[in-house]
Structure 1
Amino acid sequence: MDYSKKSDFEINWRVFVALHDGAPDFKEGENGAMVVTFTANDVQLGEHVEFEVEAESFNPCNSWADAGPIIRKNSISLISDWNEEGLWGATFRPWIYSEHENPLRAAMECYLMMHDKEEE
């Protein structure tokens, strides 16, 4: 799959699914973040009310806190000035690699390609 054509949100969602074998209810947040949500219930003025609660945000394409453990655990290498265009490269051994202006995005694309190889 060509992950370079996907949005940050789509990449974040796919990384979450790969890590957890599925995804809970979620919506798109700021800066491509995947925001995990759930429905809560309450009684207000004697009426039953349901409302959406945002539980957490997951944004490995733009957050070192989310991406760092994935990069470290999977031994993904980041390389600055990867090519003549000055993009960042992310690689797992010589045969799985990605390039992007954002090093975290490149690393998450690389992680998804690694996961695809495991699925074959």
Structure 2
Amino acid sequence: MNKYTELSDFEINKKVAESLFLKFTDSWSVILVDGESFDPCNNPSDAMPIKICTAFDVFAEEHDSGNWVASPAYGFASERTRSNNLYRAAMELFLLMKDAENEKV
């Protein structure tokens, strides 16, 4: 289980913005970048620039942690996340990958 599953979408969005070094403000549980809402957990145009592979798991009931599986497009082969929200799974994986990069430094 990863440490990001317990965070809200807002908290995940904020951590993603920080990891991407975006200049943002947070207001009323919304992350704003250049005056526009930044919501990679729910908005495809915010999430897609981050290269993560996703797949729908038709056998998800066996795993009980979500139908969507995210895995890296490259490297970090053992990392994967699961969620009922496609983009949320991808953003959790992105943060886990950033954590792994930072541990190597």
Q: TM-score, normalised by structure 2?
A: 0.79
Higher relative contact order (CA 8 A, sep 6+): 2
Cα offset, 1:94, TM superposition: 2.9
Determine the C-alpha separation between the residues in 2 that align with 1:118 and 1:58: 23
The 1:90–1:82 alpha-carbon spacing in structure 2 relative to 1, beyond 3 Å, is: farther
CA RMSD of aligned residues (A): 2.1
Partner-residue secondary structure (3-state), 1:94: coil
Q: What's the % identity of the aligned pairs?
A: 39
Structure 1 unaligned segments of length 5 or more: list them.
Answer: 38-54
Instruction: Verify: 1:113 aligned to 2:96, yes or no.
Output: yes
Equivalent residues, number = 95
Equivalent residue, structure 2, for 1:78: 54
Structure 2 unaligned segments of length 5 or more: list them.
Answer: none
Equivalent residue, structure 2, for 1:34: 31
Cα offset, 1:25, TM superposition: 3.0
The answer to whether the 8 A contact 2:41-2:47 is kept is yes
Cα offset, 1:63, TM superposition: 0.4
For 1:81, the aligned partner's letter is: D
